[in-house]
Amino acid sequence: MEINSSKVLIIDFGSQYTQLIARKIRESGVYCEIYPFSTPVKKIKDFGPSALVLSGGPSSVYDKNAPLVPKELFDLNIPFLGICYGMQLMAYLFSGAVEPAKNREYGHSKLQITHNSKLFEGCNPAAVWMSHGDLIVVPPQGFVVTSATENCAAASFENVEKKLYGLQFHPEVAHTVCGRRILENFLFGVAGFKKNWKISDIIKEKISDIERMVNGGKVVCALSGGVDSTVAAVLAHKAINGRLTCIFVDNGLLRENEGNNILKFYRENLHLKVKFVKAGKVFLNSLKGVKNPEKKRKIIGKLFINIFENEAKKIKGARYLIQGTLYPDVIESIPVYGASSVIKSHHNVGGLPKKLNLKLIEPLRELFKDEVRKIGNKLDIPSEIIERQPFPGPGLAVRIMGDITAARLNILRKADLIVTDEIKKSGLYNDLWQSFPVLVPVKTVGVMGDKRSYESVIALRAVKSSDGMTADFAEIDYDVLRKISSRIISEIKGVNRVVYDISSKPPSTIEWE
């Protein structure tokens, strides 16, 4: 796709908020991408940014291995906005002084504007979100301090002549009053951008891109029922119609009636050509007796690839594989929580193109999920799909602790129907990133109709999140919890207790396995 030449580049120093900066900038109508701090200057120049944002990060500029950028980057002579660590780095590179703060600031702070600045035009950011241990004690020569908080004498600074701006606080975080206005003042007031990134405008471009890339060839696609693969398939369908064949593998780990419902929907509403592969038995057999979460994931992932490969080979002349990969999966992320060790082997189809000798087409690879949802809306994909909460590739297998059997799947499916029904009735469904039950391999004693019972526990998980990378447990009304619990216990044989998971991510994860 031809990206507009007027765009922002965000240099990532490992902040948990970097993607948030990108999303805010795009929402303001300006295209941007994220590159890691280690990117060579030549590559940055080749990208051709019209402004640069230096993100926050967990390091100190004086750390032995502090992430730095060469000073020659500033020779680009374009506007720079440094946020938190990005501002400290700017101070450090221009010979100011940065020191550990006596009083670290985390959370809300009161801000006082001390000098007129374009960044604060038309707004008064009285409350800002801070998250820093270091601060700038001496601004570099030529820089003017424009605001302060009680514990931070240089909460923002600027060198108007050189077009360099720094904010110690985070304008991208919702808690900063008029944070969006500050970012827009930088984009439109300082850097002179025009609003020219509109997600709906790119649909036509995407369709003609696919047409051009495929050039008369045949394409296969793996559908999952989720928004990303559906939007990718519908775009391809519009581009090449009958030359697209979708493959939908029912692994038997889906929710109640999910396979059939989705298939009907794909065929009747979206008019896609879908090969339906019913493989529940094969998956269940391979998972027999497997309790280890990583083993489960590996077995499911491998089996999926084998089945898909078999089916794809039957489509004569297929040369391309279309995938709904999103931008967060593409960004070379900087590990904030230390290790880049494998926490969970995510189920994806990454191994497919190599094995099948297919060329990969990823029409959504520079987009965020909310942007893909907007495209889906414009393509008239119904909200049942667009607004669906994410569902993991390995399905209910990672929500059944211990053995996966038909009987245990049955219990979890029933619980899932109740949870989804009650969450939808309460109006919470779209506010929550995910809400689902988990079957715990523990039996507890209860009393039902004057008799002792000894049955399973269902844990309820409901989280709020913007991207699944971090999450907070949702503060669901007790009445809703009570209704879910009493329905599960009275309607599902084999369950006599429901508990609510009150852990956040990190340190927990969203799925239990």
Positions that interact with ligand XMP (CB under 6 A): 344, 346-347, 390, 392-394, 434, 468, 505, 509-511
Which one, 230 or 434, has the nearer CB to ligand XMP? 434
Which one, 281 or 346, has the nearer CB to ligand XMP? 346
Helix (H) or strand (E) holding 274: strand 274-278
SS (H, E, C) 44-106: HHHHCCCEEEECCCCCCCCCCCCCCCCHHHHHHCCCEEEECHHHHHHHHHCCCEEEEEEEEEE
Minimum gap (Å) between residue 466 Cβ and ligand XMP? 11
SS (H, E, C) 193-207: CCCCCCHHHHHHHHH
The residue with tokens 């929907």 is: 265
Helix (H) or strand (E) holding 354: helix 352-356
Minimum gap (Å) between residue 394 Cβ and ligand XMP? 5
Ramachandran angles phi, psi of 474, nearest 5°: -85, 140
CA 474/CA 427 separation, integer angstroms = 13
User: What residues form DSSP beta bridges with 200?
Assistant: none
Minimum gap (Å) between residue 509 Cβ and ligand XMP? 3
Minimum gap (Å) between residue 344 Cβ and ligand XMP? 5
Which one, 239 or 247, has the nearer CB to ligand XMP? 247
Residues 6+ apart with CB under 8 A from 105: 130, 131, 132, 149, 151, 152
CA 251/CA 258 separation, integer angstroms = 11
Which one, 60 or 470, has the nearer CB to ligand XMP? 470
| DSSP-derived 3-state class of residue 12 | strand
Catalytic residue numbers, as ranges: 84, 170, 172
Which one, 445 or 502, has the nearer CB to ligand XMP? 502
Write out the two tokens for 327: 């931008």
Minimum gap (Å) between residue 504 Cβ and ligand XMP? 11
